[in-house]
Structure 1
Amino acid sequence: MKKIISGILLAASLGIAAGAACAQSTPQGVAQHQQREIARGEPARWLKDDGTMQAQLATKRKEIGAALNEALNDCRKAAAGERAGCVRQARETYRQDMANVKELVAQSNTMGGVHETAGPSE
């Protein structure tokens, strides 16, 4: 009985993972590279804090740039009539985030601790 339940849970989790993979905007080659890195374990850099404001700003700028790339990838998948507006909105969000990068870092610093992200947002 336990084997049947385990099999069902495994099949369900694989189905969910496959569905999530299809919904992501990460290009196939990049996703495969990420999976190979993750299989090797967490790199030490993941556990190292950004100790200085300069390092925190650099990390936040990198995150903002990655968010822009993901948004632009999503825009490429949109209908032809919606692409221009989607790209314009993505670039405007990028511009606003870069203009407010110091405030975004300060806001991140006030959050502190570990936050559970599996549940519904408030």
Structure 2
Amino acid sequence: MTSIPVPTLIAQSVLIEDDCVRILDRRRFPFERVWVRCDTHQEVAQAIKDMVTQSSGPYFAAAGGMVLAAREARTEAEPLAYLRAAGDTLMATRPTNDQIARVGPGDARRRREHDLRRGGPRGRPVERGVAPR
């Protein structure tokens, strides 16, 4: 009998640790269990762009990226601006993934435009010019 790793839940494919985020490399899974280590939110963004994580995985990876960004922001002169920029960086990684837009502070205007293009949050129709509740 061959030993092949059992698939994990998507939520378990991203590990937030004290000093990094580890993302299960879905390009190699289930044949190999390889974790990609990300030390900054920019590295998480690159991993998402490189398709290390797929399906709903980018949502959890982006959440981990925002945890790293919050840690990084502690040493910034404008921590909230830093977090908004990090949110925008993570949102830009996979423009067709609706879930990433909900992770960070990012740019609220861009998030509303994203919702309008996609039919609103959670697929509900929205009227142009009316902010989703």
Structure with greater contact order relative to length (CA < 8 Å, sep ≥ 6) = 1
**Is the structural similarity TM-score above 0.5?**
no
TM-score (norm 2): 0.30
Between Structure 1 and Structure 2, which shows a larger proportion of strand residues? 2
> What TM-score, normalized by structure 1, do the two folds share?
0.33
Instruction: Return the structure number with greater helix share.
Output: 1
